[in-house]
Amino acid sequence: MSVVLSSIRWYLDVIREAQLADYGPVRGTMVIRPYGYALWERLQSWLDAALKEHGVQNAYFPQLIPMSFFEREAEHVEGFAPELAIVTRGGGKELEEPLALRPTSETIINSMFAKWVQSHRDLPMRLNQWANVHRWEMRTRPFVRTLEFMWQEGHTAHATPEEARAEAMAMLEVYREFAVTQAAMPVIAGRKSRIEQFAGANATFTIEAMMRDGRALQAGTTHDLGDNFSRAFGTQFSDAGGRLRHAHQASFGMSTRMVGGVVMSHGDDTGLRLPPRMAPLQADVGTEKSPGWKFSHWEMKGVPLRIEIGPRDVASGTCAIARRDRPGKEGKEFGVPLAPELLVQEVLKRLDEVQAELLERATRFRDEHILDVSSHSQFLEVIEQGKWARGWWAGSDEQEVALKEESGATLRCFPLEQPGGGGTCFLTGKPADQVALFAKAY
């Protein structure tokens, strides 16, 4: 791994040079430029179709939420209150009640579920919105953590706790599939610890991605909210027997953070390397007359293929195809026929190859950087190396927090794929029934 690559400088250079984003005029905000926004649109169209396929309908809920809404769910308000951006003035007058810019929409959507959900026949209710949200973050980084970001947030209501849990799991699988098949990111799906879970949830599930500097990026989360919000907001339905019951709920979100994830998963010293299925431009055509800066411009922008046509090529009716993911001659194929049909075939084949190889390479990288630990000292060593530590875990919440303070690493998740059986907690020596993944994270 290159030194340059591991630095924040590299990331910010790529974001600027590839024209993905600019800093906004207000600290912590950003302008998403067309090239960056096109990546987001790729994600949007794939995910929107997948959600609709699952029976989720799009809607739009107001951005401004009365402060009193947050106070209804105790954990939720505690989690979000410090990050709220609050409107107190409008149209030249002080507002009677301050309004917060949504940091997430559980509260407002639940105030509506309480009206819309009346009978068991109204369930399941599955809504989604594509919206901007605001969280007053102190340390920000384009795409990865910003005051304002774009996301989709899905919110569902179900008759039973089992269905709500199943929904959270199903959506996690949708996110995992997107990351792996489209973004070529071999994410690890798992459950968050109590410390790390969403404020107001019974359980939070996550896909965790490994960046090229070894840090973890939480790339999408789904939550089993149980009946916490439905109790707070009085969302009740009459079941088939006429009894009033509280709905059980799930919510799930994926954001523009994923764009940062793609950059940091695949980029190299030359710049971006985009998986063909995410790339706004999949191939660029260059001639011998093209100046060198043009080649490096498109390389830096991560366009997966370059088709080069020289005068001799024209004479022989051929061209050369160069792959962005493999530098130099190694990734170049000469003598590709220019005849449109054959060329298209060849290009499509190459794009598939690039897509598959980026995933392979990222998977290899991931597996090389996850190490099993069985003792506290081993744990510290692995984290110190900038890698992920995997070990049996039976520590308490306090011990988890202490470990974070000591090492800078957080418990990323309990992977859904467990080795089975049991083991000994690497920290406490107590018997443990699951392994956890720890890493430093964005």
Which stretches of the chain bind other proteins, using CB under 8 A? 22, 24-26, 29-34, 37-38, 40-41, 57-66, 68-69, 72, 81-93, 95-99, 101, 108, 111-112, 114-116, 118, 121, 127, 131-132, 134, 136, 147-148, 150, 231-234, 236, 238, 242, 244
SS3 call for 365: helix
CB 37 to other proteins: min, Å: 5
Determine the length of the chain: 442
Partners of 65 in beta bridges: 100
Nearer to other proteins, 16 or 404 (CB): 16
Nearer to other proteins, 116 or 334 (CB): 116
Q: Which of 350, 354, 270 is nearest to 307 (CA)?
A: 350
Nearer to other proteins, 284 or 400 (CB): 284
CB 233 to other proteins: min, Å: 7
Nearer to other proteins, 150 or 354 (CB): 150
Half-sphere exposure of 232 (CA within 13 A, CB side): 24
Say whether the peptide bond before residue 124 is cis (omega within 30 degrees of 0). yes
CB 33 to other proteins: min, Å: 6
CB 156 to other proteins: min, Å: 13
CB 232 to other proteins: min, Å: 6
β-strand pairing of 125-134 with 57-58 = parallel
C-alpha distances in Å from residue 91, one per residue of 26, 63, 67, 166, 226: 22, 17, 19, 45, 40
Nearer to other proteins, 148 or 372 (CB): 148
Nearer to other proteins, 190 or 226 (CB): 226
Question: Whole-angstrom Cα distance, residue 413 to residue 416?
Answer: 9
CB 229 to other proteins: min, Å: 11
Partners of 321 in beta bridges: 307, 333
CB 256 to other proteins: min, Å: 8
* Category of 386 on φ-ψ map: left (φ > 0), alpha (ψ -120 to 50) or beta: left
Helices 34-53 and 257-266, packing angle to 10 deg: 110
Nearer to other proteins, 56 or 336 (CB): 56
Question: Whole-angstrom Cα distance, residue 287 to residue 266?
Answer: 27
Nearer to other proteins, 38 or 416 (CB): 38
Question: Whole-angstrom Cα distance, residue 300 to residue 389?
Answer: 33
CB 441 to other proteins: min, Å: 23
β-strand pairing of 370-372 with 388-392 = parallel
